[in-house]
Structure 1
Amino acid sequence: MHTTHIIKKIPQPTLGTSMAMAIKNTLQCVVFLMALIMTHLIPPAGADAGSPKVAMASSGAGSSFRLVAHHDYALRDDGFLQVQSRLDDLLPSEANVTTLRPPVASPIDMAFSVVVGLGSGKGRHDHNLKLDASGSLMWLQCKPCNPKQPQRGPLFDPKASSTFQQVAGTSQICHPPYPMEPAGQQCAFHLSGEHGMSVHGFVALENLTMGPESMKEFVFGCAHSAEHFNSQRTFAGVAAMGKMPTSLVMQVAARGQTQFSYCLFSGGASRHGFLRFGADVPRRPGLRTTKILPALDAHESQYYVSLVGISLDAKRLTGIRPEMFARRRGGQGGCVIDPGTPLTVLAREAYRVVEEAMWSDLQRNRAERVQRQGYGLCVRKTAEIKRHLQSLSFHFAEETARLVVKPEQLFTVVESKLHGAALCLAMSPGERTVIGALQQVDTRFVYDLKDAKLSFASEPCSQDTAGVD
């Protein structure tokens, strides 16, 4: 999930005496917060301004958010995700396909959210916020919001919480590179994204809780307009996990919890996992580690890693070259790991090599290639073919850093009422490489923001879950 930041002037309400006092108090709080953020997050002069490898406080504390999976796909007994094809049933025939056919769009809508508590007193409620690994500002819909998108639970009501404070337009954070700009006496934000998404409102401070833990004066965006935001009738907003100091994870890091971790699972609505911080991050053996690359400019919020090769089973694909994943300024190219993207996207050249290698191997095992809308490579599902599916490995710059994706996360079973079941490669070609949510299932990821490292290891993620209350 990728958003861009565009500042838009927003009409502000008339400010009375009480509001003026609130802004004065807010400014004092923001000065304190920014002193904290600048102490822990801003690199010294001459250092890379966007790098997460900065001086941060360490702490023995730990905390966790509930991590919830949102999809309506069945998990089969053999571990494969089963998807029901509707568009293919409209096709007049099912001709074999032997040429590369890039998918039109992601055929799977898999999302993950965290549950955060915001506010105090009668104004405190839990909200489901969609994960966005590249987001720079946590935001949610606030009263009044027009247009608004359907969500689970009530909209956040600033008037009902005694700890809500507006951020003043004179605040240090209300200027680039942060996604904010003064709007009169207030601080406005505007975010735009895929499918015409346009969200704008004002920046505020509020108490944030995760489980028994409470954090005061948390910076967030209070949205009063949310156009074309895909809330799935559940999400109240977005939990930004990017490298900007105003994101959710960087604000937690500024308070001393400089590591965070998640382990995505493909289970249903009866259980939830955890987004863990600090001392709550499990200490797992066998972790492999790669560097989080320094930012190329001050606006960059994504966690880039150095991908240099791809293997099928134990065979390195010679057609894959490191320059296929070269990163360029302006968010072009490179490789990121994003739980907010449902399926992996490979750089076009690399995708072509991977698909052709997979099809060549499946052909040797007498697979029948078939067509399914939204997928580039599908074969008719048989027990024999399923046994011959290969795993795929992503090789990072460090020799031992190899992320293995099992066939259960590499392929999905696509059912068609007219044409039967097919096994389809759950990847698509694109402008840059994004390792998506399905390919992260059953892998533990640990982000070390202090030392700019990303570690990972295979793990049955269902073991780090709990029943839904």
Structure 2
Amino acid sequence: MDQMALFVIFLLAAFSNTLASSIFDSARLGMRHVDFGGNFTKDELVARSAFRSSRLSLQYSSAEYMIELSVGTPEPQPISGIADTGSDIIWTQCGQPTSLYDPQKSQTYSSLPCNSNVCLQAPNRDPKQCCSYSITYGSGNAAGYFISDTFLLGDTNPVSVPQMVFGCTTSSMATGEAPTGIIGLSRSEYSLIRQLGIDKFSYCLHPDVNTIQPMFLGSAAILDGPLVQSTPLVFPDANLYLVNLNGISLGTEQLPIPQSLFQFNPSDGSGGVIIDSGTPITRLVPQAFEIVSQAVQNIVNLPIADGSTYNLKLCFSLPSGSKVPSMPDMTFHFDGADLKLSMDKYMYLTGDGLFCLFILEPARGFTQSIIGTFQTQNMHVLYDLNNNMLSFAPAECDKL
């Protein structure tokens, strides 16, 4: 078991601090794409997303969207962190050149008791530093100490929430771009969702990386109408958001993918299909990926090309002046719901004439298939923890 898994167990079993008040009702947050304002070309954005999707960790540098909020009083300090349904805790950088938060500037900052269970049992703690931690991710690490402070949530009419527990990271490294923080959105006891005491949240992702993306917390998360589809969130005792994927179709053809490839093993936490805000591009376990790839090759009558420039595995060479091949919809069949992807949601045409499958295999060391954020763009996605349901519907995200 890796350090992150042990750390989650410590949190769930040992933390004794009082959570934020359950009187919190709702808020609308703004999220920024990590490439916001970067002036990247479309091809560069694709390559960067594919690279982030290939990282070794679900929790560290693979994510696309940053939540913006403020911490502390009397002058709230703006911070941002990766919006990640695959992460269990909240942390932000402190005492580093890129830090946005200084606890000493806040009148509501509070350290945690050194004799609390979480402080005594945190992995790789420094006995000389109260409540220290060191978390190892697949693509980096973060070390610091746990504290609490008041959070200010909402891009309009912000809501003040006291005694939010989070990590003050004083040292972090990553292979690639290191985040300034993480906003864990999992089912874990110390994620943002659980600390707020809410039972639902939603987000809607627009393809334009320079658009502020909306996230809705609590009663503000509303999704209704005739186009809404819902599928159960299975294994509610797991921190991740797992769904049953029964198969994949390309057009009218049900692909011969054994359903066992998508089954979750609760005994060791392997397998299964995850809905994840922290993964840009959908990833299918190798055998399922190969079946999907072969089905695409059977339709696209073009020479295979090297897509490594874009960090994509299956690409075709489209002759200059040629039209893009006609491709049917690809459909992911969940319990009670179908996620239908038009060609532009699973194929990409590069500026230099490569026609590529925009689906990947999992990062090395991971056994789950993951539904990524690119495939759910222009969709309003609702997580209902009370009823253990995931719902989605087409939406104009920039108008919500």
Match of 2:4 in 1: 4
- For the structure 1 residues 186 and 60, does the alpha-carbon distance in structure 2 shift closer, same or farther, using more than 3 Å as the test? closer
What is the CA-CA distance between 1:225 and the residue it aligns to?
Answer: 1.1
User: In structure 2, what residue type is equivalent to 1:301?
Assistant: N
Are the equivalent residues in 1 in contact too, given 2:30–2:67 (CA < 8 A)? yes
Equivalent in the alignment of 1:115: 68
Contact (CA 8 Å) 2:63, 2:277: kept in 1 or not?
no
Which residue does 2:307 correspond to in 1? 372
Tell me the secondary structure at the aligned position of residue 221 of structure 2. Answer: coil
Partner of 1:454: 390
Cα drift, residue 247 of structure 1 = 0.6
CA gap 1:104/1:32 in 2 versus in 1, 3 angstroms: closer
Task: Call closer, same or farther: CA 1:321–1:5 in 2, change over 3 Å.
Answer: closer
Cα separation, partners in 2 of 1:242 and 1:229, compared to 1, 3 Å: farther
Q: 1:406 to 1:168 in 2, by over 3 A?
A: farther
Q: Deviations over 1:65-120 (max 9, x none)?
A: 11111235868xxxxx534899xxxxxxxxxxxxxxxx997499771111011111
Indicate whether 1:65 and 2:29 are aligned: yes
Deviation at residue 303 of structure 1 after TM alignment: 1.0
SS of residue matched to 1:283: coil
8 Å contact 2:131–2:146 — kept in the other structure? yes
Q: Give the CA RMSD over aligned residues.
A: 3.3
SS at match of 1:156: coil
- Residues 35-114 of structure 1: matches in 2 within 5 Å? 61-71=25-35, 82-83=43-44, 106=54, 111-114=64-67
Matched, 1:413 2:345: no
Q: 1:201 to 1:84 in 2, by over 3 A?
A: closer
**Residue 157 (str. 1) matches residue 113 (str. 2):** no
| C-alpha distance in structure 1 between counterparts of 2:389 and 2:45, whole Å | 39
Using the TM superposition, give the Cα deviation of residue 369 of structure 1 relative to its aligned residue in structure 2, in angstroms. 2.9
Q: Give the corresponding residue for 2:149.
A: 206
Q: TM-score, normalised by structure 1?
A: 0.71
Alignment of 1:274-285 (within 5 A): 274-285=214-225
Residues matched between the structures, number: 372
TM-aligned CA distance change 1:308 to 1:437, over 3 Å: same
Q: Is the 8 A contact 2:53 2:280 kept in 1?
A: no
Give the distance between the partners of 1:73 and 1:316, measured in 2 at CA.
40
The Cα shift of 1:131 comes to 1.8
Point out where structure 2 has 5 or more consecutive residues left out of the alignment: 8-14, 56-60
2:19 maps to which residue? 33
Q: Following the alignment from structure 2 to structure 1, what is the Cα–Cα distance between the partners of residues 109 and 93?
A: 14
Q: CA–CA distance in 2 between the matches of 1:6 and 1:371? A: 40
Relative to 1, partners in 2 of residues 1:371 and 1:32: Cα closer, same or farther, differing over 3 Å?
closer
CA distance in structure 2 between the aligned counterparts of 1:294 and 1:359, rounded to whole angstroms: 35
Kept after mapping to 2: 8 A contact 1:191/1:198: yes
Q: 1:348 to 1:180 in 2, by over 3 A?
A: same
1:194 alignment counterpart:
138
Show the counterpart of 1:140. Answer: 92
2:235 maps to 1:294: yes
Distance apart, 1:461 and its partner CA: 2.2
> 5+ unaligned residues in a row in structure 1: which ranges?
8-28, 37-56, 76-80, 87-102, 465-469
- Looking at structure 2, the residues matched to 186 and 362 of structure 1 have their Cα atoms a distance apart, in angstroms, of 60
Percent sequence identity over aligned pairs: 22
Q: 1:185 to 1:371 in 2, by over 3 A?
A: closer
In 2, distance between residues paired with 1:213 and 1:182? 35
- Contact in 2 for aligned 1:119/1:206 (Cα 8 Å): yes
Kindly state the Cα deviation for residue 357 of structure 1 after the two structures are TM-superposed. 0.6
Structure 1 match to 2:11: none
Larger Rg: 1
Q: Is contact 1:119-1:161 (8 Å) kept?
A: yes
Q: Quote the residue 1:40 is aligned against.
A: none
